[in-house]
Each structure stands twice: as C-alpha cells, then as structure tokens.
Chains A and B, each alone.
Chain A
Amino acid sequence: MTQPANWSALTAVMRRDLMVVMRRRSDILNPLLFILIVVSLFPLAVGPGPDILGRIAAGVIWVAALLSALLGSERLFREDYLDGTLEQLTLQPQPLALLAFGKIAVHWLLSGLPLVILAPVCALLLKLPIAGWSTLLATLLVGTPILSAMTAIGAALTVSLGRGGALLSLLLLPLFIPLLIFASGAVEAALVGTAAWPQVLLLAGLSLLTLLLAPFAVAASIRVSVN
C-alpha cells in the first residue's frame, strides 16, 4: 500500500467522524454537562467548606472525567457497527490499526480537549487552590488521550453486544486506576508544594505508550466484533 493511500484513508475516517459529530452536537455537550453536574453535587454532599472541597477537587474532577468517558464511549463504534461502516473499514487495504488511531484521535478532540477547556470552571466550583490549577490542566491534557484510547478498546470489544454500559465500566474502570492515582497525586503534590512534574511526565509516558499500543488492540477487537 502506498503512503498517500494510507493518508487518504486516515483523513477520510477522521473527517467523516468529525462531520458526523459536528451535526450531533449534543454528543459533545452532554458528557461535559454530566461532569459539571457531578462536580456541583459534591459541595452539596460534603459541604461547601473550602478546606474539604479544595482537597478533594482534583480527585472529583478526574473521577467525573472517567465516568463521562464511559458515558460517551458508545458513540465511538456503535453507529459504525450498525450501519456497516465498521465492516467496510476492516476490509480496507490500509492497516485497521491506523484507521482505529484516527477514530481515537477524533474522539479525543471532541471529548478530551473540551474537558481540558471545561476544567477551570470545575476547579473554580470546587475551590481548588490556585497552586494546583496548572498541574490539574497538565494532567488532563496528557491523561485524557489514555482515556480515549482505553475507552476505544472497551467500546470495540462490546460493540456487538448492544448493551455494553455496565459491562464496559467493569472492563475499563480497573484499567483507569493508574491514571486516577498519578493524576490526582500530581495535583496533591503541587498543593503541598512538592514537585509535580515527575507524575505529569510519567502520565505523558503512559499516554504515549497507550496511544502506540491501543490501536492494535482496537483493531483486533473490531475484527472479533464484526465476525
């Protein structure tokens, strides 16, 4: 296969996904609203005192992000599976992992990136001390690609089941634990005044590793699912 053909197919997949989601904007907005609502529940549950809220802010935002990733995961492959697109993608001469990477990238653009943009609002609502803001944003920026990639694996595995929801959280949430630990740990380190960059770097490394390997797992899962 020539390089231009690979490139052409990759951009076709990405353009198609972008165009489809841009026509259904609620798919982008709903997970964000979900995060916002979950975040605003916490002050009501544990009280609005800044000492408690500030301490749990990063953890709450990250847990909300994990849950919203699960919530929006179905749209990754569900429609494509139902209308036959997924089947056609597996029959493309181009490597399926490459096309899967394209889908992961679009998913991140439309769910991970908006989350980074929304994060300051959440941090404000939860009274996260200013010292932790930049670290929170950094962890979200490097951590959300992991979220998109791992979600894609789970969504591809369960796409033919039709009722993936609860099963998907069972499969994915344990795998998100390192992400949660390092991300909230980094913010905590920033709050107590120690260096947060080792954890952020670690997350960035994990992110790269995941983006490198996950497309192959997604491709294998798609092949199993269209069987």
Chain B
Amino acid sequence: MSTLLDVQQLASQRAGRTLFADLSFTLNAGDVLHIEGENGAGKSTLLRSLVGLVELQAGTIRFFPEQLPFAQEWRQHTLFMGHKPAVKAELTALENVRLQAQLTAVANVDAWQLLETVGLLGLEDLPAGQLSAGQQRRIALTRLWYSKAPLWILDEPFTALDTRGIDLLQQRFAEHTAQGGAIVMTSHQALTWRPEQLKRIRIQGGEL
C-alpha cells in the first residue's frame, strides 16, 4: 500500500486561538479521511493549510511521491475544493465547465458528457448565476470526473446537494479510491457509503 500524504505534528492558530496542535496522520492509497468537528473547530483551516492556503504554525506535510512541499509539481497531484464553487455567475454552465478544464490544462474534455453526468443537461445555456446553489456546486464538481490528481481535498463537498447528487458524488468517490486515490474531506452529513478504508479525525478546537 503506497502512502500519498504524511502529516506530522501540525499546529495552527487563528486570531490567537489554537485550533489544533500536534495533529499527525498518514493517508494511503484508497483512504478516505473524514475530518469531524463542530463549527469553527478549524476543519476548513486544516484543509486549507494542507494545500498551503493558510500558513502553518508548526509541523511538516509531505506529499508522495516525494516532492518539494508546495512546489508546483505537487499541485498537479492535489485537487482542492473549498466552500466557494469558483463558478462565474455571468457565464453559462457549459462555458464554466470548459474554462475550468482549460485552466487545469486538461485537453479534450467532453463538456456535454460532463454536464450529463452531473445532471445539468438542458440547463447548459443558462448563466450560472440563475442556477440554484446545488446546481452551481454540480458545475464545480465536474472537475472530479476528469482530474488526474490522486489526492482530493474537499471541504464540505455535499453542501447544497440533494440526495441524488450526494449518491452520485459518493459513487465517484468510490471509483476514485478504488483506482488508488485518496480523499480528505469534511462533512456534517454522515456518509451513506461505507468506504473500505475510512479514517476519522476529530478536531476539538478552541482551546487556548
């Protein structure tokens, strides 16, 4: 079993408050890491510090295959999705999907096929701003169907999705882990799908 991510003694503070300290875990191929914690416990901060959006107070993060931390190369091996969907309200669903793919330099993306997969066929000509929050989320999630990154870091991926959307996403998660990928995610909803290699970490947060 190959290791994808190794985190040692991570610590973070936000506005003078210690969110977590001495946090260590490793992630192997096929792992799903579910990070739990109350609102404001520091789940998002943890995910954001994994990809370098938030500065670390202490600790080391190593990505495998071994590379320089936060160098350009590992960015290709990691896919991060935050709270915000990064979907442009003025552009149509189709344009959003295409530009997203072009930005990540994935050639030959069949945007129509992707829209069909996430169930947005028929809405492709509407500006994304006129779609619902869940539909915008689906546009953003199309990335998961063509990304070649082995490590997915997803902050509340189920937000605003209906049950069919959640099922669809979990199905995709299962495919990804079966192919040797790994997922770090936060979610307030319990997973209806039982991954084979599920790990849980609970962040307390808030202690001074």
Q: Which chain B residues border A4 with CB–CB below 8 Å?
A: 105
* Cβ–Cβ contact A20 & B91, under 8 A: yes
Contacts A/B (CB < 8 Å), 25 sampled = A1-B72, A8-B107, A9-B105, A11-B102, A13-B103, A15-B102, A16-B103, A19-B90, A19-B91, A19-B95, A83-B89, A84-B83, A84-B84, A85-B88, A87-B86, A90-B53, A91-B75, A92-B103, A92-B104, A93-B72, A93-B75, A93-B105, A227-B53, A227-B54, A227-B55
A15, A20, A91 interface centre (most CB from chain B within 10 Å):
A91
| CB-based contact A88/B99 at 8 Å | no
Cα(A91)–Cα(B76), bound, Å: 9
Q: How far is the CA of A83 from the CA of B127 in the complex (A)?
A: 14
A82 at the interface (CB under 8 A from B): yes
Most buried by A among B76, B90, B91: B90
Q: Which A residues have a C-beta under 8 Å from some C-beta of B? A: 1, 4-5, 8-9, 11-13, 15-16, 19-20, 23-24, 79, 82-85, 87-88, 90-95, 226-227
Residues in A with CB closer than 8 Å to B119 are: none
CA A226 to CA B104, docked complex, whole Å? 20
CB-CB < 8 A to A87: which residues of B? 53, 82, 84, 86
CA distance A93 to B67 in the complex (A): 14
| Residue in B closest to A20 when the chains form the complex, CB atoms | B90
In the assembled complex, which residues on chain A have CB atoms less than 8 Å from the CB atom of B90? Answer: 19-20, 23-24
Q: In the complex the two chains form, what is the Cα distance from A90 to B114 in whole Å? A: 25
Q: Which residues of B contact A15 (CB under 8 A)?
A: 99, 102
Min distance, Cβ B164 to any Cβ of chain A, angstroms: 24
Q: How far is the CA of A87 from the CA of B51 in the complex (A)?
A: 11
CA distance A25 to B108 in the complex (A): 31
> Is B180 located at the chain interface by the 8 A CB criterion?
no
* Extra inter-chain contacts (8) besides given A82-B84, A83-B88, A84-B82, CB under 8 Å: A9-B103, A12-B99, A12-B102, A23-B91, A84-B86, A85-B88, A87-B84, A91-B75
Chain B residues lying within 8 Å of A9, measured Cβ to Cβ, are 102-105
Question: What are the residues of chain B within 8 A of A83 when measuring CB–CB?
Answer: 84-89
In the complex, what residue of chain B is closest to A11 when comparing beta carbons?
B102
Which residues of chain B have C-beta atoms less than 8 A from A8's C-beta? 102-103, 105, 107
Q: How many residues of B contact A (CB 8 A)?
A: 29
Give chain B's interface secondary structure class. Answer: loop
| A94 to B72 CA separation, bound complex (whole angstroms) | 7
The CA of A91 and the CA of B75, in the complex, are separated in Å by 7
Cα–Cα, bound, A189→B55 (Å): 52
- Of all A-B residue pairs in the complex, the 9 with the closest CB atoms, nearest first, are A84-B84, A5-B105, A12-B102, A84-B86, A12-B103, A93-B75, A23-B90, A8-B105, A88-B86
> Is residue B73 within 8 Å, beta carbon to beta carbon, of the partner chain?
yes
Query: Complex Cα distance A1/B71, Å?
Result: 11
Of the listed residues A5, A85, A88, the one surrounded by the most CB atoms of chain B closer than 10 A to its CB is A88
Using A83-B86, A83-B88, A84-B85 as known contacts, say yes or no to A91 and B80 having CB atoms under 8 A apart.
Answer: yes
Interface residues of B in 175-205 (CB under 8 A from A): none
Most A C-beta atoms less than 10 A away, residue of B75, B78, B105: B105
A16 near B91 with CB under 8 A, answer yes
A5 to B55 CA separation, bound complex (whole angstroms): 27
Contact B99 A16 (CB under 8 A): yes
Considering the chains assembled together, what is the distance between the CA atoms of A24 and B89 in angstroms?
Answer: 11
- A93 and chain B: residue at smallest CB distance: B75
Q: In chain B between 45 and 80, which residues have their CB closer than 8 angstroms to a CB of chain A?
A: 51-55, 72-73, 75-76, 78, 80
B103 and A93 contact, CB distance less than 8 A: no
Contact of A85 with B86 in the complex, beta carbons under 8 Å? yes
